Structure 1
Amino acid sequence: MAQPLCHPQHTAQRFDMEGFNSSTPQAKLTDTCLRVFCDSEKLAVLLNDGQQSDIALQACGTPIIKLLLHLSNAIKNREGNFDLAVQRLDDLINLATEKFYAFPFKDVPACWRDLFRRASFLKVSALAVKQTWLQEGGNSNLSLKDQHLSGQQMDEMVRTIDMALIMAGPPSSSDSQEQIKSVFDLLQEIYMDTIHDSKETPPNKRRKLDNAALWQDRFPTSKAFEPAVSSPIPKLNEPSFEEFENYMLRPRDDSLGPEPTIITGALKHWPARKDRPWKSPSYLLSKTIGGRRLVPIELGRSYVDEGWGQKIIAFKEFMDHYILHPNSSALAIGYLAQHDLFAQIPSLRDDITVPDYCYTSPPPPHHSSPLAEKHSELPQLDEPLLNAWFGPVGTISPLHTDPYHNILSQVAGRKYIRIYAPKESEKLYARGVEDGGVDMGNTSSLDIGILAGWDGSEEERTEARERFPLFQEAEFVDCILEEGECLYIPVGWWHYVRSLSVSFSVSFWFN
């Protein structure tokens, strides 16, 4: 027979919100979790008058709402069995997860997404008060403000919130999003306090796995193959706003439109390039709550390769397995690619600034592009779209086009980039709509590495040249994008990107 979570007559609330002195980060965290995530009043209203409250969650059924209310009260009062409460929350999360796989992801009913989030946030609240709850079955006089989170508790809390945001998406309310951000900020503050108190060894004090020497706070170097640059992209040294806008609007060749250019000097003021360096592994780990934040990564050299896949892992695992010790196992290449890292971790967003060039008025897609009409139909962006690209040597973005103008900013490391004008599209063999109805018309069928003679066997190169005979006639420009440089890629231009070292880039899409 299942053990009851708590006696139904236990109604005395041990946690007095008004009398709680939330002066420490731990106390503020507990306060926020119990006040925001354990909102029993809203759940009670939903039970009593569901038609006028949260319709989405109501579709999950009255028994589930009653259980959520019961668990919310148990957590606030620290009553009953802690392990059983967490198990029931895990059961609710698993139930919602099963529903995710019963529908195409975009068609998952809103109630199951909401259940996933609510159960996850209640679990985080339970973990926040775990120490006092377990102390003498919840009857201890240990103050909530005096408890300390263990590293394992922080692991589970961060993982639970991130999985909720990744799987179910953020809540629609901006207030709720801000409250979640405040929880992450407090967890970050608690983590930094443990570093200062020497309760958790900081990354820059760790030793290498072989204990032979102190761990070096830099990315590993490797001798990667470096393609020769044969048609260099011109450079502009820190052009003014007006100069760059004129460069786009008054092209030297009307048959091409604005052309790619390297911009130097534009990143020299970025904290990510100076006192908050993204080339420092210990700094990146410290900004992700000791590497606890979850990130989605791509597995494989390129997203068009056979065997390519994706998974969600902790940032410290990504760093250890794929960046710092990439040869320590037979793992595939791991790449944090085209991820909105800065919405997930706003503190990293503070280390960079959007280049002023992204606020110019660029020309529309060039008429020579087969995708010009499609790209022209996109609405005007209110703000540039930012994405992070972080990975080891050898990652490849296959030849493709983007629907926006792009300022690709190289924060750390180096990349080889080859670019083709839209008028060369016929010679670049776009993939089109593939199995499952996925439109891959923005991606080429060509493997530039094989056709250029850098990769593959001689047999593979010969086969590729015979299959794509027009490729040899396609004209291109290329460059090695160095640390601290930006590359302007006009909308609709095809580009192939190959990392020559551990590399951290930020793309700014604008139209």
Structure 2
Amino acid sequence: MNGNDAIAFCEALLHDSGDDAESGEASFRDRIHSAATTISGPPAAPGVVAAIVADLDALRERAHAEMQEAVRAGKNDPHNWRRFYTDASLLRVFALLKVEEDVAGNVALENIAVLDHALVVAGAAGNGRYELITDTIATLQRKCRPPSPPTAATDDSPRANEILISDVALSSSTRTVPIIDPPPSLGRFAREHVYSPFVLRGYARDWPALSEHPWASTSYLRSVAGRGRVVPVEIGHDYRADEWTQAMMPWDDFLKRMKSGEALYLAQHDLFFQFPALQQDIIVPDYVYGAPAPPRDFPAYTPPANAEQLVTNAWFGPGGTVSPAHTVRLHLLSLSPYSPLFGRVRGVLETRCVGEEADPLPQDPFFNFFASLSKSEPSIFVLTLILALSPVQAVGRKTVWLAPPTATPFMYAYPPPSASSEDADASRNPAANTVAPSMSNTTRVDVFADARGDEEEGEFPDFWKHAVPLAMHVTLGPGDALSLPPGWWHATRSEETSFSVSMWY
């Protein structure tokens, strides 16, 4: 990114008259245009630029509030507000660079974080914005002290193919997920396996993420991101807990604090959108392009509506991190706007979800191929790959509990928001999430309880009597892959620090 790019961006904004449906958006655009005019013009006094930056920060705050309100109200994708947030973020950085091209390192880091928020919160909405943001981040990073060079895994670390994985026993499941060896051909997969869960041991062990570009190395993960990056993080082991919350956190801090054992979890985040170099470390399996027909027990299935018909997410957390048994809601805008999913997955799902009322017990909408590198969100195809980041652990493992859609009547899900206050458990609320507090897709049963207690069995008798016989489980290790059809209940627990990739198709 250079000064000419910034001027070209400002001039393009000034030629964009827009078609604002609401007067508030028109006023917002006028202030964007005013900032663009000053930035693209002759040099301005520092005081003028400071005033522009303050106004752009106020606009970013307003745009974020409007996006959150759109989530609360269940409105269609607020694309204009996401684009305003993106444009105000870019203009803020360009204004500072206009005053001082050689900005101090701390100022560069501050504005890298601003642009990361535009990626994560608003999805870099607008034609060409994503490329401009990533180029500008690279420019700002060059003004900072470079990070340490990447390092490979230590020589005494066991190789993935030297590690034997045994399933962790669960009282809530008596069966294990079938293992297929060798991996089926694409044709056999489509004929015989696409509608049932199965595991491919070691399927992804040849990925660069497990070899020459080791995601087990925090040094590599720092270097591939560069200085100053921030990511959306869940704080707490279980989102059903009252103390659970979310925050934007510096990537370096997240890696350091998670490695020390803090309950931090980067969950269901398109990390490849934010750090595109990581995309080269994984290999998308042919299975996800099989175009399966809807399952009989989930006829509402349609593939993601984006061009690739594929949604890829990262799951990265320490040992003990739990996703309770749940299904993914059809309207994924129940997620916090702290995610590019707000802007990007909404586009993937909106053909099915906009204007529809959510079912009381919605099911996962896609096939899921889950590669064991960390935590997973199965219900499309999921591919799971697990890597350890602890200097003590040689490998990360993740235990997954599954139950078919037929178990839904016995899963004791939380009541929907419309339920009466007598029926709702007010204390079980994702960190008092006022954006989307519904947990009607989540069970109240702890499927990872060490043993079945009389009290819990008395509270959830149908689960133990009817769901447990249908359930199955598996412990995934490095390079293992789990395939999961739509509509299945699933829970995950990281046995050690683990890094997973899920692919929804």
User: TM-score, normalising length from structure 1?
Assistant: 0.70
The aligned counterpart of 1:320 is 256
Following superposition, the deviation at residue 172 of structure 1 comes to 2.6
SS of alignment partner, residue 474 of structure 2: strand
Following superposition, the deviation at residue 115 of structure 1 comes to 4.2
SS of alignment partner, residue 484 of structure 1: coil
Q: Is the 8 A contact 1:204 1:217 kept in 2?
A: no
Q: Distance in 1 between matches of 2:272 and 2:19?
A: 36
Show CA shifts across 1:380-426 (max 9, x none): 66422111100111111111232211111012121011212222222
The one-letter code sitting in structure 1 at the alignment partner of 2:457 is R
Change (3 A) 1:389 1:439: same
Confirm or deny that 1:34 pairs with 2:6. Answer: yes
The aligned counterpart of 1:59 is 26
Q: Is the 8 A contact 1:93 1:116 kept in 2?
A: no
Q: Distance in 1 between matches of 2:80 and 2:408?
A: 45
Confirm or deny that 1:394 pairs with 2:317. Answer: no
Following superposition, the deviation at residue 111 of structure 1 comes to 5.9
SS of alignment partner, residue 2 of structure 2: helix
How is 1:70-89 mapped onto 2 (pairs within 5 angstroms)? 70-73=37-40, 77-81=42-46, 84-89=48-53
How is 1:203-214 mapped onto 2 (pairs within 5 angstroms)? none
Following superposition, the deviation at residue 110 of structure 1 comes to 6.2
Change (3 A) 1:377 1:201: closer
Among candidates 455, 458, 461, match of residue 466 of structure 1: 458
Change (3 A) 1:265 1:240: farther
Change (3 A) 1:217 1:90: farther
5+ long unaligned stretches in structure 2: 158-166, 328-363, 374-386, 388-395, 419-433
Q: Is the 8 A contact 1:398 1:443 kept in 2?
A: yes
How is 1:91-490 mapped onto 2 (pairs within 5 angstroms)? 91-98=55-62, 100-101=64-65, 104-106=69-71, 113-132=82-101, 147=102, 150-173=104-127, 175-187=128-140, 190=142, 199-200=145-146, 202=148, 227-228=168-169, 230-236=174-180, 237-248=182-193, 258-290=195-227, 292-321=228-257, 323-326=258-261, 333-367=263-297, 372-373=298-299, 375-376=300-301, 382-401=308-327, 402-411=364-373, 412=387, 413-434=396-417, 440-450=439-449, 452-453=450-451, 461-473=453-465, 474-475=468-469, 476-490=471-485
Show CA shifts across 1:139-190 (max 9, x none): xxxxxxxx5x5432331221111223334442231x33333233334456x3
Q: Is the 8 A contact 2:234 2:265 kept in 1?
A: yes
The one-letter code sitting in structure 1 at the alignment partner of 2:479 is G
The aligned counterpart of 1:137 is none
Comparing 262-271 and 339-348, the one that deviates more = 262-271
Q: Is the 8 A contact 1:30 1:129 kept in 2?
A: no
Q: Distance in 2 between matches of 1:109 and 1:386?
A: 23
Larger RCO of the pair (alpha carbons < 8 Å, separation 6+) = 2
Change (3 A) 1:477 1:264: same
SS of alignment partner, residue 478 of structure 1: strand
Percentage identity across paired residues of the two chains: 30
Following superposition, the deviation at residue 41 of structure 1 comes to 6.6
The one-letter code sitting in structure 2 at the alignment partner of 1:183 is T
Change (3 A) 1:104 1:396: same
Show CA shifts across 1:177-233 (max 9, x none): 333233334456x37xx7xxxx5451779xxxxxxxxx9999xxxxxxx94265322
Q: Is the 8 A contact 2:150 2:223 kept in 1?
A: no
Q: Is the 8 A contact 1:358 1:407 kept in 2?
A: yes
SS of alignment partner, residue 325 of structure 2: strand
Q: Distance in 2 between matches of 1:227 and 1:161?
A: 42
Show CA shifts across 1:43-70 (max 9, x none): 2x56xxx478999997116862564145
Comparing 308-317 and 91-100, the one that deviates more = 91-100
Q: Distance in 2 between matches of 1:66 and 1:404?
A: 41
5+ long unaligned stretches in structure 1: 1-28, 133-146, 206-214, 219-225, 250-257, 328-332, 455-460
SS of alignment partner, residue 212 of structure 2: coil
Structure with bigger gyration radius: 1
Change (3 A) 1:303 1:32: farther
The aligned counterpart of 2:428 is none
Q: Distance in 2 between matches of 1:434 and 1:128?
A: 47
SS of alignment partner, residue 52 of structure 2: helix
Q: Is the 8 A contact 2:85 2:118 kept in 1?
A: yes
Following superposition, the deviation at residue 85 of structure 1 comes to 1.1
Change (3 A) 1:353 1:57: farther
SS of alignment partner, residue 448 of structure 2: helix
Following superposition, the deviation at residue 234 of structure 1 comes to 2.2
The aligned counterpart of 1:5 is none
Q: Distance in 2 between matches of 1:424 and 1:184?
A: 47
Q: Distance in 1 between matches of 2:12 and 2:21?
A: 12
Question: For this pair of structures, how many residues does the alignment match?
Answer: 408
The one-letter code sitting in structure 2 at the alignment partner of 1:35 is I
Change (3 A) 1:479 1:169: closer
Q: Distance in 2 between matches of 1:227 and 1:245?
A: 29
SS of alignment partner, residue 59 of structure 1: helix
Q: Distance in 1 between matches of 2:273 and 2:12?
A: 30
Change (3 A) 1:92 1:112: farther
User: TM-score, normalising length from structure 2?
Assistant: 0.71
